[in-house]
Structure 1
Amino acid sequence: MKVYKLAEAEEKFAELIWQHEPINSGDLVRLCEKEMNWKKSTTYTVLKKLCEKGIFQNKNAVVTSLMTRDAYYAQQSIHFVEDTFGGSLPKFLAAFVSGRKISKKQAEELKRLIDEHQEG
């Protein structure tokens, strides 16, 4: 799986697309001008870059995602655990809950997720 790491401005731009898709590219330009103070050329440059990465597509002047917001953030989470905790989910969870209590509901949800994704 290819890992996409977006810069802060690219991520904000991606969020705008995810929130408004499908969006006409002209409307996207106006939205970026309003929300990010970008010029038309900046919007199209960043859009082209993210299309080349396979995150979005711009067909017939309509921008849509090829990678959902959830898929992007799931990928970022996996990459974070791999880089920071050597890929160890137990080490990540231990660090995450360190010094705090989780609710019974949260514990049950974690148990359910573990059961759902357990091998064999």
Structure 2
Amino acid sequence: MEIPKVFESEYRFCRILWENEPVKSSDLVRLCQEQLGWKPTTTYTVLRRLGDRGVLKNENTVVRSLVSREQVETAQIDEMVEKTFGGSLPAFVAAFTRSHKLSRAEVDEVQAMIDRFREEEHHD
């Protein structure tokens, strides 16, 4: 299943939805007004747009997501790595580490991910 594209302002909206779902649309309007400074019409427009694209479902004024935060974030990163680095994870990591100093704990965490991947690959 291809994850629908979620743009920046929509992502901020989705974060509120994911933290509160299932949520009544009227409560979502209030939360978006408080946290994003949106007018009710803006929230209802985004609700409709994301519903049309299959990101959420608004049924009987109760809103639920159809895609998870992890799915959306993974799709965004995949798109960025593909578009910016030709799909090369090593090129992405090299660019990232040129401008971000990794702590020893972060290096250990990345190494543990690589080790898990190699272990899973070995068992396939």
| Counterpart position of 2:59 | 59
Q: Which amino acid aligns with 2:32?
A: C
| SS of aligned partner of 2:95 | helix
Classify 1:6/1:96 alpha carbon distance in 2 versus 1 (closer, same or farther; 3 Å): same
Classify 1:114/1:64 alpha carbon distance in 2 versus 1 (closer, same or farther; 3 Å): same
How far the C-alpha of 1:33 sits from its partner, in A, is: 2.9
Q: State how many pairs are aligned.
A: 120
- Of stretches 36-45 and 80-89 in structure 1, the one that deviates more from structure 2 is 36-45
Can you give the 5+ residue segments of structure 1 that lack an aligned partner in the other structure? none
How far the C-alpha of 1:25 sits from its partner, in A, is: 0.9
Please say if 1:105 is aligned against 2:105.
yes
| Counterpart position of 1:45 | 45
How far the C-alpha of 1:103 sits from its partner, in A, is: 3.0
Q: Which amino acid aligns with 2:13?
A: F
How far the C-alpha of 1:101 sits from its partner, in A, is: 4.6
Q: Which amino acid aligns with 1:22?
A: P
| Counterpart position of 2:78 | 78
Q: Which amino acid aligns with 1:63?
A: V
| Counterpart position of 2:27 | 27
Q: 1:113 and 1:79 mapped to 2: Cα distance?
A: 21
Q: Which amino acid aligns with 2:24?
A: N
Classify 1:41/1:117 alpha carbon distance in 2 versus 1 (closer, same or farther; 3 Å): same
| Counterpart position of 1:10 | 10
Q: 1:32 and 1:99 mapped to 2: Cα distance?
A: 34
| SS of aligned partner of 2:58 | strand
How far the C-alpha of 1:100 sits from its partner, in A, is: 5.7
Q: 2:35 and 2:101 mapped to 1: Cα distance?
A: 39
- Aligned residues with identical type, % of pairs: 43
- Of stretches 17-26 and 5-14 in structure 1, the one that deviates more from structure 2 is 5-14
Cα deviations by residue, 1:67-107 (Å, 9 ceiling, x for unpaired): 11122111111111111111111111111112665333222
Can you give the 5+ residue segments of structure 2 that lack an aligned partner in the other structure? none
Higher helix share: 2
How far the C-alpha of 1:50 sits from its partner, in A, is: 0.6
| TM-score (norm: length of structure 1) | 0.82
